[in-house]
Amino acid sequence: MQMSKNDPKEGTKEAPNKTIVQTIWEFATFGIIALIIVMPIRLFIAQPFIVSGSSMVPTFKDADYLIVDELSYRLKDPKRFDVIVFRYPKDPSKYFIKRILALPNEKITIDGGTITIYNDEHKDGFVLDQPFIREQSDDSMSFDLSDDEYFVMGDNRNYSSDSRFWGPVNRDHLVGKAFIRLLPISNVDLLPGVYSPEDSQ
């Protein structure tokens, strides 16, 4: 049977024409709802960052596009070897990306490419396994970290401005950890840069 739009038995009727004001109001309402949904995600859960420079080569390259997980560190503490985005201690308006090597209340010693960590579980220290670095450095130094400090370094040691030069990063400067690499398409990756050796505590 052919259906007519004017046949009341079919339960349909012609939609009334919308006014310009109604259309604008609908778009405005949609925009407000979208902001209500998106903004908390953008501010408190995840946000995009673009890698700038070569300090994390070969793990990350210049212009890599990342989504950073901001929620995890609100629920649990950062771990050793996490790749994090944080506010640069000398200028909080800038963001850096590095890898956590030493945790709060630990001592870290650097002797060239050898990094040793001292903590309550390892009074005599243990040497970090670092398969992610490109080349060794010639540094020789040590740092004692306080309750809320993290020692961070770039994977490309000889081309990285990091805790060796301006000290540890306070917990309140941490933004989050690298969660997804979206660009370049050829390197799309979940939890890029992740490394979890057995002896990482």
Active-site annotation, residues: 55, 98
Q: Give CA separation, 47 vs 69, 92, 117, in Å.
A: 7, 17, 32
HSE, side-chain direction, 13 A CA sphere, residue 73? 23
Token pair for 102: 């030493």
Q: How far apart are CA 189 and CA 179, in angstroms?
A: 8
- Strands 140-144 and 107-111 turn out to be antiparallel
CB atoms within 10 A of CB 181: 22
Phi, psi of 27 (to 5 degrees): -65, -40
DSSP 97: E
Q: If DSSP codes are grouped into helix, strand and coil, which group holds residue 140? A: strand
User: Do residues 131 and 107 lie in contact, with contact meaning Cβ atoms separated by under 8 Å?
Assistant: no
